[in-house]
Structure 1
Amino acid sequence: MLGRTAHGLFWMCRCLERAENTARLLEAGFHMALTRDVATAEEEWRSVIEAFGQRAGYENKHGTYTGHQAWNYLLRDPDNATSVLAMIGAARTNARAVRNAISGELWEAINESWMEISRLLARPLAQNSVGEAVQIIRRAGTVVHGAMSGSMLRNEGFHFARAGTFVERADCVARILDMKYYLLLPSLSYVGTSLDTGQWDQVLRSVSGDRAFRWLNAGRIDARVIVEFLVLDDRFPRSLAFCHTALREELAALARMHGREGESNALMRESATRLSDLTIDGIFERGLHDFLRHFTQANNAIAKGIAEDYRFLS
Structure 2
Amino acid sequence: MLSRTADSLFWLGRYIERAGNNARGLQVALRMASLTRDAAVRDSAWRALLIASGCAPGFAATGAEPTQEAVVRYLAADPSNPSSILSCIEAARRNARAVRTALTVDMWEAVNETWSEARRTTAATFAPDNLPGFLDWVKSRTVQFNGAYADTMLREEAWRFVRLGTTMERADNTARVLDVHHHAIADAEQDGAVAYVQWQAILRSVSALRAYHWVFHARLEPRRIAELLILRPELPRSMIACYARIEETLEGIAAAHGGRRGECHRLAGEMHARLRFGRIEDIMAGGLHDFLTATIDRNLQLGRQIQDFYLQA
- In the superposition, the TM-score normalised over structure 2's length comes to 0.95
Which has the higher mean CA deviation after the structures are superposed, 260-269 or 8-17? 260-269
Contact 1:109 1:147 in 2 (8 A): yes
Deviation at 1:120?
3.0
**Partner of 1:61 in structure 2?**
62
Give 4+ residue runs of structure 1 displaced > 6 Å after superposition: none
**Partner of 2:217 in structure 1?**
218
Contact 1:72 1:124 in 2 (8 A): no
Cα deviations by residue, 1:248-300 (Å, 9 ceiling, x for unpaired): 11111101100122221111111122112210101111111100011111112
In 2: Cα distance, 1:15 partner to 1:148 partner: 14
RMSD of aligned residue pairs (Cα, Å): 1.8
**Partner of 1:96 in structure 2?**
97
Give the residue type in structure 1 aligned to 2:285.
E
**Would the alpha carbon gap of residues 263 and 110 (structure 1) be closer, same or farther in structure 2, given more than 3 Å must change?**
same
**Structure 2, unpaired ranges of 5+:** none
In 2: Cα distance, 1:47 partner to 1:100 partner: 40
1:203 aligns with 2:202: yes
**Partner of 2:20 in structure 1?**
20
Q: Mapping of 1:43-192 within 5 angstroms?
A: 43-120=44-121, 125-182=126-183, 191-192=190-191
Cα deviations by residue, 1:214-251 (Å, 9 ceiling, x for unpaired): 11122410000010000000010000000000111111
The alignment-based identity, stated in percent, is 37
1:256 aligns with 2:245: no
Deviation at 1:122?
5.6
Please state whether the residue corresponding to 1:4 is helix, strand or coil: helix
Contact 2:28 2:201 in 1 (8 A): yes
Which has the higher mean CA deviation after the structures are superposed, 152-161 or 58-67? 58-67
Deviation at 1:119?
2.0
Cα deviations by residue, 1:93-142 (Å, 9 ceiling, x for unpaired): 00000111111211111110112223235656111112111100000011
In 1: Cα distance, 2:56 partner to 2:298 partner: 23
Please state whether the residue corresponding to 1:119 is helix, strand or coil: coil
Cα deviations by residue, 1:198-217 (Å, 9 ceiling, x for unpaired): 11112111111111111112
**Structure 1, unpaired ranges of 5+:** none
In 1: Cα distance, 2:124 partner to 2:84 partner: 14
1:10 aligns with 2:18: no
Give the residue type in structure 2 aligned to 1:109.
A
Contact 2:14 2:169 in 1 (8 A): yes
In 1: Cα distance, 2:123 partner to 2:43 partner: 25
In 1: Cα distance, 2:234 partner to 2:108 partner: 30
